[in-house]
Structure 1
Amino acid sequence: MAQEIELKLELTRDAANAIAVSDVLANAPKISQQCSIYFDTPESRLAKAGLSLRIRESGGKRVQTIKSDRGNAAGLFTRTERERTVQDDTPVLDDATLISPVLQDCADLIAPVFEVQIERRTWTLNEHDAEIELVLDRGEVIAGERRSPICELELELKHGPPTALFAIARRLAAVAPVRIGVLTKAERGYRLAGPVMKAVTAAPILISNEMSSAQAFQHIVQSCLRHFRLNEPLICGDDRAAALHQARVALRRLGSAFAVFKADIDHRGAGLADEVRWLASELGDARNLDVLIERTKPGSLQDQLAAARNRAYDRVAVILALPRARLLFLDLTEWVTTGGGLSATGNGAANDRPLQECAEAALTRFRRKVSRRKHLANATDETRHEIRKTAKKLRYTAEFFAALFKTPRQSRRYKRFLAALETLQDRLGALNDLATAKSMLETLCLAGNRHAAKVSGKGRRKRLLRLAAVAHKDWVGTKQFW
């Protein structure tokens, strides 16, 4: 059983061509054609267990590989793998494969699920006291009648410090645009074989009390990065509104993680947190216009708002293509996975402080901030917006640490607490939508449109204020689950 440490980067074919002839890769590559068949049961038992089973043919030789993947990996993948040569495209499933307990009595149901056909170009780089195997894969995933292109770089660390992977990645990024990759080839295949992909919601955060605060923070950050990157490519597609919304949720969750562990974050981390806030704000206009158009009836006003939304999405595409945005996720990945992240000697001593203690302190802090704002009706729009943002942080923090509170009583209280908090968020969100609509219509010089008053919610504000006050009182009355 070997361990593989690998940095994945996604890029376009034009970018791949530019990198392949650049000074970064001065030597001639080794070129091979590879065809990999991935196997599983009809119920995808291996995938659900975090395993992949493939047989790869290259140069007349076949190698069977079983890999164990971490579900929240983003950019930097650390995986165990077991390989053996085989004679044909039939998997060898003896006790040495270590997957018999997963398959149980279903070994005879193992069958091909999809194929990956690629041209692989391989370079060996010896830099920064490290040996790195860099491969450029171009080809496609095939699942039945469906096909999806692959163009990615993999930087595998043979020996040396993981920071060397990121140093090479930055040199590549200076030649052509690259982005952190979050999908293995196995994941690409399973996604292609399944339903057509839509916007992706946040995955559960699986942490435990055995983790240090620093380990939990790393796990949470990687989950948020993966959430964002899975939605980013969809922002230019048919499901763009939902994808943009989920991308912003990922950034807000990431910002909340920084807020939870604020006492232990170093200077570089504080700068990265600022960049996360910058990117989230840059996506705001497009999201606000999506919400506003949903409340607008067909007609001249909706047409003008739709035109403004198209311009906003064009700007989003420009922002996401900027080196500032692309390199943010490379910087975050390096910082959180290669010894940065939380300080072991800071105010909170993140590697020594029990995770439960950290979770309870953060939940109590955010709850106190939301609870003390009792007079919502008399508050300004800005103040209610700040309360709403803190309520979001509280909700995301509760979701981050939900796995730590699993007694029957805690589970019951958790459900009631989250339900009441979500109702409060919805009420405050409706009020914020009114304020945002008014501001957006004025900015676009559309406040004089005869339908503008209805869209901006004139006449609904008093009722929403009353509902928000009731929701706040109900939530304050719920018992904490920690």
Structure 2
Amino acid sequence: MADTKREIERKYEATPDTPMPDLTKVPGVADVVGKGVAELDAVYYDTADLRLAAASVTLRRRTGGADAGWHLKLPVSPGVRDEITAPLSDGIPAGLAALVRVHARGEELVPVVRLLSSRDVHHLVDADGALLAELSRDAVVAERLHGGNGTAQWDEIEVELADGGDPAFLDAVDKRLRKAEVRAAAASSKLARALTETGTGPARPSPEPSAARTAGDQVLAYVREQAAAIVAYDPGVRRDLPDAVHRMRVATRRLRSTLRTHRKVLDRHATQPVIDELKWLAAELGVARDQEVLAERLHSRVDAVPVTLLLGPVAARLRQWSVAGAAEARRTAVAALDGDRYLALLDALDGLLADPPLLKAAEHAPEDVLAKAVLKEYDRLAARMAHALSLPAGEERDLAMHDARKAAKRARYAAEVARPALGKPAKRFGKRMKAVQQVLGDHQDSVVARQALRDLAVQAHAAGESAFVWGLLYGREEARAGTRETELPRVWAEASAPGIRAALGG
């Protein structure tokens, strides 16, 4: 069983003779307690071409000290990582291997570096003896195991915040150390330094241009951002972190929408296979996300029913339904991420970005090309809105409103791509499209909720339970959908106000 903690730390350069300032001068520190010296032996694993290190991910097997075992560290932000641990074993734990699959892409994980550290540990504690941070002075010896046979050694100081501590405390410690001329470490981690000093380090992506000069630059920057987001959220989906499925699915949709919208910039014959696979991935993730949204909606609706009207085991039935649905949806999402089709999609995205199939329009100024793309999506939305608003209430109108919702998303995403070039007009346009999307989205959620409520009513009736509450909620959802349909003409009129074309340069 793997455990997780949030690691927040600072690293500093040192030598064996670096003096340590009196840290009891740091506000809140009452004492610095020595905890002895630990001898640590860690072997770091990566692919032969160091894909994990390139993504600032570390996977190691360490013996010695209080936390011997397997450690996987995933970056969160500078100086902040999620550390996931598993007990010692001969082979890499399957759970940890799964979390780095998005980087390894099927390549074997091999030992690349061994670090021997003599760690002198001190605890910074408050007046009550509570731990504020752990300070370690490490004497490190690094040995390259793959990709060279170099060695290196250095000393460093590491300050790690106690679990649940205020990150501002590290700022206070940092100020005291800097005053004593203790400098921040240049390398982000021991592994990064070891790789650099013992042989060839990981390949680093080429720096992005500071400003997009062409339409192609801007579209590719957005595509690159969304492709990176898919990779970044992969471990979160596997760990079942809150909102991870939603964020990964949104990145997938944004990417697919952008490739479809900008077919004058990127050759559609090259992008269509990727678009098709992104549609597949979004659908697989959608099972989990749709279940999550639906369960949250139904639970809130049940909670709003007066106790006097809750006839039968309503809460228990809904809880059983939502737990079973969530488990099945999660299995679907993780199975997709575990499949070869997903890895092939990631490789295709890498290939697309490495050698983008740019067309002539990609060379033009972004203002003109991207404005036209936004207006094209707006026209698509306008046509679908006109069709939906012309229909009487019913199933056909529900479907038309759902189609309009998808068009509103595409228009919004097109505005996101164009925003660096078009500025405030694109931002305002995006907000208008979001307002339309939200009304249409709530309407569609009501359509889906009513189907689920009908199914729950059938199950309750078959079990000899009262179906009254499910019928009551069905009626409320039906009324809510009617309210949204009534609101829609006004919201659309506000979103499509005259002058929108002129504002976008159209």
TM-score by length of 2: 0.55
2: CA distance, partners of 1:425 / 1:417: 12
The residue number in structure 2 matching 1:99 is none
The residue number in structure 2 matching 1:420 is 432
User: Aligned residues, how many?
Assistant: 332
The structure with the larger Rg is: 2
The residue number in structure 2 matching 1:257 is 258
Distance 1:420 1:29, change over 3 A: closer
2: CA distance, partners of 1:58 / 1:310: 45
2: CA distance, partners of 1:243 / 1:285: 13
2: CA distance, partners of 1:367 / 1:34: 60
The residue number in structure 2 matching 1:434 is 446
2: CA distance, partners of 1:351 / 1:416: 25
**Residue 377 of structure 1, CA deviation:** 4.2
The residue number in structure 2 matching 1:226 is 228
Unmatched segments (≥5 aa) in structure 2? 1-48, 60-71, 73-91, 102-106, 118-137, 144-151, 158-176, 303-314, 392-396, 462-466
Q: Does 1:360 align with 2:380?
A: no
1:239 counterpart SS class: coil
**Residue 364 of structure 1, CA deviation:** 0.8
Alignment of 1:45-444 (within 5 A): 59=141, 89=156, 111-112=183-184, 116-118=189-191, 154=202, 156=203, 208-210=211-213, 212-237=214-239, 239-240=241-242, 242-263=243-264, 264-296=266-298, 297=302, 298-337=315-354, 339=355, 341-343=356-358, 346=359, 349-372=360-383, 373-374=385-386, 376-379=388-391, 380-406=397-423, 411=424, 413-440=425-452
Q: Does the 8 Å contact 2:443/2:484 carry over to 1?
A: yes
1:401 counterpart SS class: helix
1: CA distance, partners of 2:330 / 2:97: 28
Distance 1:58 1:284, change over 3 A: same
1: CA distance, partners of 2:97 / 2:481: 56
The residue number in structure 1 matching 2:7 is none
**Residue 110 of structure 1, CA deviation:** 7.2
Q: Does the 8 Å contact 1:376/1:469 carry over to 2?
A: no
Unmatched segments (≥5 aa) in structure 1? 36-55, 62-84, 91-105, 123-132, 136-153, 163-204
For each residue in 1:323-353, what CA deviation from the matched residue of structure 2 results, as whole angstroms up to 9, or x when unmatched?
A: 111231122112212x2x233xx4xx14422
**Aligned residue identity for 1:271:** P
2:189 counterpart SS class: strand
For each residue in 1:18-64, what CA deviation from the matched residue of structure 2 results, as whole angstroms up to 9, or x when unmatched?
A: 99xxxx889x98754288xxxxxxxxxxxxxxxxxxxx986479xxx
**Aligned residue identity for 1:257:** T
**Aligned residue identity for 2:224:** Q
TM-score by length of 1: 0.58
For each residue in 1:183-229, what CA deviation from the matched residue of structure 2 results, as whole angstroms up to 9, or x when unmatched?
A: xxxxxxxxxxxxxxxxxxxxxx998451x233223211110022222
**Residue 382 of structure 1, CA deviation:** 1.9
Distance 1:206 1:476, change over 3 A: farther
Q: Does the 8 Å contact 1:417/1:479 carry over to 2?
A: no
**Aligned residue identity for 2:398:** D
Q: Give % identity.
A: 20
2:248 counterpart SS class: helix
Q: Does the 8 Å contact 2:371/2:418 carry over to 1?
A: no
1:283 counterpart SS class: helix
Q: Does 1:452 align with 2:453?
A: no
**Residue 419 of structure 1, CA deviation:** 2.9
Q: Does the 8 Å contact 1:417/1:478 carry over to 2?
A: no
Distance 1:319 1:25, change over 3 A: closer
Q: Does the 8 Å contact 1:34/1:119 carry over to 2?
A: no
2: CA distance, partners of 1:252 / 1:6: 30
